[in-house]
Amino acid sequence: MKINFEKRGDVDIVSLIGRLDGNTASSVKDETMEKLTENTKLIIDMKDCEYVSSAGLRVLMIVAKTLRAKGGNGVLVEMNEEVGDVMEMTGFGNIFRSFNTINEALEFLRKGGEEC
């Protein structure tokens, strides 16, 4: 898995490229958690994330809880059908809002958005 970080104004964007599974979850968690500060606005770009395992879901849960504890907000964008189905079946739609594009997510977060 490759992880790219980008900043657009006051919003951090984490792009996940590859598989978020037991082999990659720890590094994704560690690298993402380093970016989370007070009131972080975070977009997790899933466009190039091919697969999410239970270990990957655990990482997303930890990120969501950390964001919430720090008064931040996070959203998911551009999930493929398989990843979107996993998120829906596991109830992650109640944890992270999802958007079709980064621009939609940026607009939501810049308007204040809801907590993740």
Query: How confident is the model at residue 93, as a pLDDT?
Result: 83
Query: Can you read off the two tokens belonging to residue 4?
Result: 């790219």
pTM over 0.85: yes
Query: How confident is the model at residue 92, as a pLDDT?
Result: 87
Residue 22 CA to residue 45 CA, distance in Å, equals 19
Q: Going by DSSP bridges, is the β-strand pair 11-20/49-52 parallel, antiparallel, or unpaired?
A: parallel
Query: How confident is the model at residue 114, as a pLDDT?
Result: 62
Neighbours of 81 (CB within 10 A): 7
Domain extents for the chain? 2-110
Query: How confident is the model at residue 18, as a pLDDT?
Result: 97
Residue 75 CA to residue 109 CA, distance in Å, equals 8
Q: What kind of architecture, by CATH, is found in domain 2-110? A: 2-Layer Sandwich (3.30)
Query: HEC string of 66-108?
Result: HHHHCCCEEEEECCCHHHHHHHHHCCHHHCCEEECCHHHHHHH
Predicted confidence pLDDT, tens digits, the chain (116 residues)? 999 999 999 999 999 999 999 999 999 999 999 988 888 899 999 999 999 999 999 999 999 999 999 999 999 999 999 999 999 999 988 899 999 999 999 999 998 876 54
